[in-house]
Amino acid sequence: MDVYFSPLACSLASRIVIYEAGGEADFHRVDTRAGRTASGEDYSKINPKGLVPALKTDDGVVLTENAAILQYLADRFPDARLAPSGFARYELQQWLSFIGAELHKAVFAILLSRTAPPEAKAMAKETAGPRLAYLNDHLAGREWLLDEFSVADAYLAAVLNWNRAVQLDFSPYPAILAYQERLAARPAVGKALTDEFALYQPA
C-alpha cells in the first residue's frame, strides 16, 4: 500500500490511522506545487487532481479524497476499531463531511491560502465561530467525536493542528482545547505529528 502525502497537510490523517492500527505503508512525499513526488514521479499520473492524500492499494487501484481513504483504512485494519458499524457508521460519515466541508475548506484552507484576499480571510474567520461553537458543544463531556476514537478524530487532529499557523482564538472553546490535549497525548497522533513536522521544516 502506497500513501501519497505532503507534510502536515490533511494527508496527516492517513498516517495517524495507519500508526493507530499498527499497520504498514510506503509513504511518498509530494510537492503539490511542482506536481512531483520526492522520487521525481509525475504526480498527475497518480492523482490528476494534484492533491493529497492519495492511496494506491496493493492491487494498484488509486483512491483519493480523505473521507474515502480513511474509511478504506479503517476497513483494512478492522481490529483497530477505527470505524463503527450500523447507524454509527453514518454518524462517522457525518463528521467526516463536517470536518471536510465546514472546517477544512470553509475555514482553514482559506486562512492558510497565500492568494486569498483579505476579504475572504475575514469571512472565513467569521464563518469559523459558529462551526467551532458547534464542535465545542458536541465535545463537551465526551472524549471523542463518536463513542471511541475513530478516523474522524484523525482527520480533525490534522485540521485543528493548522491553528498553529492560523492562530484563531480557541479560548472560547474549552472543550476543543481539552480535546486537542487528548489528541496530543495519544501515541499515534504524537508520532505522526513529530514525523511530519520534521519533514515540514526544510520544505
Instruction: Tell me the CATH number at 29.
Output: 3.40.30.10
**CA pair distance 31, 9, nearest whole angstrom:** 11
- pTM, two decimals, is 0.97
117 shares its domain with 74: no
Coil/strand/helix, residue 167: coil
Which triple of cell numbers denotes residue 25? 505503508
Neighbours of 179 (CB within 10 A): 24
Biggest CA-to-CA distance, the chain: 48
Tell how strand 26-31 and strand 2-5 pair up: parallel
Number of domains in the chain: 2
Mean pLDDT on 74-84 = 98
Task: Report, in angstroms and rounded to the nearest whole number, the Rg of the chain calculated over CA atoms.
Answer: 17
Look up the domain containing 107 and give its range: 87-186
Q: How many degrees, rounded to 5, is the angle at CA 55 between CA 156 and CA 112?
A: 40
Tell me what pLDDT residue 202 has.
Answer: 55
What does the mean pLDDT of the chain come to? 97
Mean pLDDT on 161-182 = 98
44 shares its domain with 135: no
CA dihedral of residues 12, 18, 20, 23 (deg, nearest 10): -160
48 shares its domain with 131: no
**CA pair distance 117, 119, nearest whole angstrom:** 5
Per-residue buried b or exposed e for 46-63, using 16+ beta carbons within 10 Å of the residue's own CB: bbeeebbbbbbeeeeeee
Tell me what pLDDT residue 201 has.
Answer: 66
Omega before residue 53 within 30° of 0, cis = yes
40 shares its domain with 116: no
Give the tens place of pLDDT for each residue, 15-34.
999 999 999 999 999 999 99
26 shares its domain with 65: yes
Give the tens place of pLDDT for each residue, 105-118.
999 999 999 999 99
